């Protein structure tokens, strides 16, 4: 069975600092996608960043970047220059290739950015 594990239920960071959220997954698939979604207090899920497993280069979106370690099945999210608006629940998710939107989600990490 494919699983996604986020071992940090809660984290906090000071504004303008950098924080890293951890995610590990288990799969026997070779081709797949990994995602980080953000769920702010408004509750609407927003895609933060996406990584394709066949790409060795780590994905980057402005202040957000990932450290993708395929052999270790690790997919961490780094947020640089944290802002108050980054306060949210963050979910790591996995999707096997060719299975559309059937994502498997981790338990989530609640991030608080403090002024």
Asked if 96 and 29 count as a contact pair (C-beta separation under 8 A), the reply is: yes
Compute the least distance from the CB of residue 82 to other proteins, in Å: 23
Compute the least distance from the CB of residue 111 to other proteins, in Å: 15
107 part of the interface to other proteins, by CB under 8 A: yes
Asked if 76 and 23 count as a contact pair (C-beta separation under 8 A), the reply is: yes
Report 19-58 residues binding other proteins (CB under 8 A): 33, 35, 42-47, 50
- Cα(100)–Cα(13) distance, integer angstroms: 34
Cα angle: 19, vertex 83, 21; to 5 degrees: 25
64 part of the interface to other proteins, by CB under 8 A: no
Nearer to other proteins, 16 or 46 (CB): 46
Nearer to other proteins, 13 or 45 (CB): 45
Q: Which of 19, 36, 106, 111 binds other proteins (CB under 8 A)?
A: 106
List CB contacts of 54: < 8 A, sequence separation 6 or more: 31
> Tokens 């979604």 map to which residue?
37
- Cα(24)–Cα(92) distance, integer angstroms: 9
Binding residues vs other proteins (CB under 8 A): 4, 6, 9, 33, 35, 42-47, 50, 91, 93, 95, 97-103, 105-108
């Amino acid at each position: 069975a494919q699983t996604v594990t986020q071992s940090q239920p809660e984290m906090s960071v000071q504004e303008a600092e950098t924080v890293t959220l951890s995610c590990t997954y288990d799969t026997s698939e070779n081709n797949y996608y990994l995602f980080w979604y953000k769920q702010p207090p408004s509750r609407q899920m927003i895609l933060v960043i996406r990584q394709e497993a066949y790409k060795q280069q780590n994905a980057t979106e402005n202040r957000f970047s990932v450290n993708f370690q395929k052999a270790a099945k690790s997919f961490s999210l780094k947020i640089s220059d944290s802002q108050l608006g980054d306060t949210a629940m963050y979910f790591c998710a996995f999707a096997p290739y060719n299975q559309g939107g059937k994502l498997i989600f981790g338990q989530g990490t609640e991030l608080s950015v403090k002024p």
